[in-house]
Amino acid sequence: MTHKWWQNAVIYQIYPQSFQDSNNDGIGDLPGIVKRLPYLQKLGVDVLWLNPIYQSPLKDNGYDIADYKKILPVYGSMADFDNLLKQIHAHGMKLLMDLVVNHTSDQHRWFQESKQSKDNQYADYYIWRDPVNGHEPNNWHAAFGGSAWTFVPERGQYYLHLFAPGQPDLNWENPAVRESVWNIMRFWLDKGIDGFRMDVINLISKPAGLPDAPEPGTYPLTEGLVADGPKLDDYLREMNEKVLSHYDVMTVGEMPSSKPEDAINYTGLNSHELNMVFQFQHVALEPNPDKRLGKWNDQPVKLPELKKALSRWQKALDGKGWNSLYWNNHDQPRAVSRFANDDPKYRVRAAKMLGTTLHMMQGTPFVFEGEELGMANVHYTHLDQYEDLESINAYHELVDEKKLVDGPTMLKYLANISRDNARTPMPWDDSQNAGFSDATPWFALNPTYQQINAKAAVADKDSVFYHYQKLIQLRHDSDLVKFGNYDEIDPDDAEVFAYRRHYQGDTLLVMSNFTDKTLTRNYRQARAAKLVLSNYDNDQGVTLRPYESKVYLFN
C-alpha cells in the first residue's frame, strides 16, 4: 500500500469556545486560533481539528447545528474562517472540520418545515412515527436523558432524537437527505479544508422496524442496537464515491461501541469508506455495575483491561485498516487524572508516560488542547459549577427523578467522568483569565492555571509540552513508529504497560510504569539497545521509577 499523508500526521483538537478569545467577550473565536498558530507549529502537529463552529443554538455546544454553511457569529464571520484556513495552510498545517449529520438542531430550517405537516418538502427528512397506543413508538432512552421520542402536535407524531430533544435525528433512508449531506460536505471541501471528523457516524443507519431495547432505561442505548446499523456500509460507500474520493482528504468517524471487526469494514484499505474511526473501548472500561447509571462511576480503570482494549485494536487493524489513537477529547475527562495520577508530585511524569504509551502505537494520534500541558480534571464539587447538558441532565434524572443514587455520590461521579473536565478554557499564562481573554471566560478556568499554563510549559525544557514535541518528531522521523506491527508483553501485568513494535528487522520496546512504585522488569532482548526517549534522567535499565516510561530501539 502506498503511504498516505495522514499516516504521518499528528492531529491537534481545538475546542473553539475554550481556546483563545480575541475580542474579549469571554468566548474563544476564530481570530483567536490564528493568534495561536505559531504555538501549534512549535509543538509540531500537522492537522487541526475544530469542534463545530457552525450556526447553532448551542444546546450541546455546537453539536446541534442550525445552518451548516454559516459560522456562528460569536466565533467570527465566514471571512474569518477563510482567513483561518489560509493561515493554517501558510503555517504548514491542515484543517479538519466536524461533520455532525446524524442529527441537526431543531432550529434547522429542515426541521422547522418538517414538523409543520406530513406533506412538505422536508416531511421525510427526520424520523417521524405515529403514537402506539397513545405512547412513544418504542422504549428507547435518549443519551442525554428521558425518552428518545418527542411528540409534535402539528404532525400528531413523534420524532426520534438519540441525544437531546433539540437534536432530531436525520432520516438517512431518504436519498434527498443524503444528497443534502453530500452538498454540505462539498461546500467545505471546495473551500479547501483537508477532511472531516464525523460525529457519531455509526448511528446514521437505524435498525429496521426500530425494535424495543431489551433493557429499557439503561445506557448506552447504542450498544448492539442502534450502532453499526444495516445500511451503514452502504451510506459510507456512497459518501466516499460521491464526495470523498474526489478530494485528497482524511476522515475519522466517531463510532461509539464499534468493535475492531466493524472498523475493518469502515477503514479497510479496500473498503472505500473512511480512513479511521474513534473507537470507545478504552474509554468505557468502568461503567457503573448498575446499568441504569451508565458511565457514571468513580472507579479507577484496571490496567490489564486498558491494555487489553488498546492491544486488541492494535493487533486487529494491523495491515487491514488504520487506528486513531487518543486519550482525551471534549467528551472525556482528562487522561492524567483518569488513567494515571494528577497529584502534583507525579502529574508531569505521569502525563509524559501516558503520551509515550499512546504515541508509540500504530495509528494517527490525536492531542486534545491542554493535553500537551498535562492538564488534569477540575475536581468540581457543586452541580452549579457544571455547564454540560449531559452532566446536568444526568444529575437531575438519576438523583432527583429516579432516585437511583444520592447527590454527593453523583457529584463524585461527575468529578470523575464529566465532559466538563475537558472544556475549561485553555490556560495560556498565569495572568488574570490565563491569557484566554480579558473578560470573564464563558466557563471557569481550571484553578490550577497559575502553575499549569502554556507560557510556563514553553519556558521549561522538561515540560510535558516538549515531551509531546519529541513524540511527534519521533513519529515523523520513523517508519517503525508509523508502521511497525504490535506485539504486547505480559498482558496480565497490572503495573506496567509494555509492548514491542517490529518493522523491517528493527524493534522498538516501550515500557511504562503506571504506578507510583519503583518496579523491576526485565524484557530480555538479544541485541544492544539505544534509549530513544524517557521521562527520567539516568536510565536505570531494568528499574522503572514511579510513572517512568521509556522507549528503546534495537537495530
Binding residues for ligand GLC, rule: CB under 6 A, are 60, 63, 100, 163, 199-200, 254, 330-331
Q: Of 25 and 487, which CB lies nearer to Ca ion in the complex structure?
A: 25
Give the nearest distance from C-beta 255 to ligand GLC in angstroms. 10
Give the nearest distance from C-beta 442 to Ca ion in angstroms. 9
Pick the closest to residue 452 from 461, 463, 444 (CA basis): 463
Give the nearest distance from C-beta 22 to Ca ion in angstroms. 6
Q: Of 163 and 188, which CB lies nearer to ligand GLC in the complex structure?
A: 163
Cα 103 to Cα 166: distance, rounded to the nearest angstrom: 9
What strands lie across the sheet with 157-160, from one edge to the other? 128-129, 157-160, 149-152
Give the nearest distance from C-beta 553 to ligand GLC in angstroms. 36
Cα 248 to Cα 271: distance, rounded to the nearest angstrom: 16
Cα 56 to Cα 34: distance, rounded to the nearest angstrom: 22
Partner from ligand GLC, Ca ion, none contacting 29, C-beta within 5 to 8 A by type? Ca ion
| Residues of this chain, 168-227, that bind Ca ion according to CB under 5 A | none
Give the nearest distance from C-beta 474 to Ca ion in angstroms. 36
Give the nearest distance from C-beta 412 to ligand GLC in angstroms. 22
Partner from Ca ion, ligand GLC, none contacting 23, C-beta within 5 to 8 A by type? Ca ion
Give the nearest distance from C-beta 185 to ligand GLC in angstroms. 17
Q: Which residue is nearest to ligand GLC (CB)?
A: 63
- The DSSP code sequence of 88-114 is HHHTT-EEEEEE--SB--TTSHHHHHH
Catalytic residue, chosen from 254, 371, 390, 420, is 254
Q: Of 257 and 463, which CB lies nearer to ligand GLC in the complex structure?
A: 257
Partner from ligand GLC, Ca ion, none contacting 163, C-beta within 5 to 8 A by type? ligand GLC
The answer to whether 334 and 509 have CB atoms below 8 angstroms apart is: no
Q: Which residue is nearest to Ca ion (CB)?
A: 29
Count of residues that bind Ca ion according to CB under 5 A = 5
Read off the C-alpha cell for 173.
433512508
Rounded to 5 degrees, φ, ψ at 11 are -105, 145
Cα 454 to Cα 325: distance, rounded to the nearest angstrom: 23
Catalytic residue, chosen from 199, 228, 273, 390, is 199
Q: Is 254 a catalytic residue?
A: yes
Partner from Ca ion, ligand GLC, none contacting 27, C-beta within 5 to 8 A by type? Ca ion
Q: Of 27 and 250, which CB lies nearer to Ca ion in the complex structure?
A: 27
Pick the closest to residue 83 from 197, 196, 192, 198 (CA basis): 192
Give the nearest distance from C-beta 33 to Ca ion in angstroms. 11
Partner from Ca ion, ligand GLC, none contacting 548, C-beta within 5 to 8 A by type? none
Pick the closest to residue 104 from 145, 152, 56, 72 (CA basis): 56
Partner from ligand GLC, Ca ion, none contacting 331, C-beta within 5 to 8 A by type? ligand GLC
Residue with cell 484543517: 95
Beta bridge mates, 489 = 498
Cα 72 to Cα 62: distance, rounded to the nearest angstrom: 9
Cα 409 to Cα 288: distance, rounded to the nearest angstrom: 12
Partner from Ca ion, ligand GLC, none contacting 200, C-beta within 5 to 8 A by type? ligand GLC
Cα 475 to Cα 364: distance, rounded to the nearest angstrom: 10
Partner from ligand GLC, Ca ion, none contacting 25, C-beta within 5 to 8 A by type? Ca ion
Q: Of 87 and 469, which CB lies nearer to Ca ion in the complex structure?
A: 87
Q: Of 46 and 388, which CB lies nearer to ligand GLC in the complex structure?
A: 388
Q: Of 45 and 170, which CB lies nearer to ligand GLC in the complex structure?
A: 170
- The DSSP code sequence of 25-64 is SSS--HHHHHHTHHHHHHHT--EEEEPP-EE---TTTTSS
Beta bridge mates, 295 = none
The answer to whether 529 and 481 have CB atoms below 8 angstroms apart is: no
> Pattern of binders to Ca ion over 14-53, x per CB under 5 A?
-------x-x-x-x-x------------------------
Q: Of 227 and 285, which CB lies nearer to ligand GLC in the complex structure?
A: 227
Looking at residue 304, the DSSP 8-state letter turns out to be H
Letter string b/e over residues 419-441, b meaning 16 or more CB atoms within 10 A of that residue's CB: bbbbbbbbbbbeeebbbbbeeeb
- Residues in contact with Ca ion by CB under 5 A are 21, 23, 25, 27, 29
**Catalytically annotated residues:** 199, 254
